[in-house]
Amino acid sequence: MPGDDREQTRDRGETRDGEETRDREETLTEAFWAVARTLRHVSKEALAPYDVSPSQSRAIGVLARHGDMRPGELARHLRIAPRSATEVVDDLEARGMVERSPDPQDRRATILRLTGGGAQVAAEIRGARAAEAEDFFGRLDAADRAELTRILHALREDPENPPGCPP
């Protein structure tokens, strides 16, 4: 029966005119951005006790995970312009969390490293974020968390060339 065909294709998210598929894609997009907004809000609250911006927190995290590095390398890790990384580092240095020192292999270059205070803040933020993630994602059972992790990693595979964008 023709009506049965339409029901079967609707279950797959498709109709003959493509309307249902478009609605589901919009719903997925809206749901994704709603979750992203919620995570940003929760993250901002978690960072409040440390009086650091999200950019500063990311820079501290990169230095804690990867160790000492040049400012250009930090900018690449953060995927921001070198000038923006310099501003972040300037703020963190002024607050005593990061220090610059001459690069022993190239006296024209500098190396960034966390201070003891910066390393302590990095560890505290990492703990706060882990607790925040557990609270947020704890609503999902283990199988759903594993599946979400798999999906997000797949979407993040090649951030330089996301699907639908020219290489």
How far, in Å, CA of 142 to CA of 122, rounded?
27
Cα–Cα distance measured from residue 127 to residue 73, given in angstroms and rounded to the nearest whole number? 25
Over range 74-103, report the average pLDDT. Answer: 95
- As a whole number, mean pLDDT of residues 47-70 equals 94
Domain boundaries, the chain: 41-154
Model confidence at 91, in pLDDT bands (50, 70, 90)?
very high
Per-residue pLDDT tens for 27-57?
888 989 999 999 999 888 888 999 999 999 9
- pLDDT at res. 28: 86
Question: How long, in residues, is the chain?
Answer: 167
Task: State mean pLDDT over 113-121.
Answer: 97
pLDDT at 164 over 70: no
Residue 118 confidence (pLDDT): 97
Higher pLDDT, 8 or 96: 96
Q: How far is it, in rounded angstroms, from Cα 128 to Cα 49?
A: 10
Q: Is 59 exposed, middle or buried (0-12, 13-18, 19+ CB in 10 A)?
A: buried
Helix (H, G, I), strand (E, B) or coil at 52: coil
Q: How many CA atoms lie within 13 A of 27 on its CB side?
A: 7
Predicted pLDDT at 12: 44
- 156 pLDDT tier (thresholds 50, 70, 90): confident
119: pLDDT strictly greater than 50: yes
Give the pLDDT of residue 122.
Answer: 96
**CATH 1.10.10.10 at 41-154, yes or no:** yes
42 against 113, higher pLDDT: 113
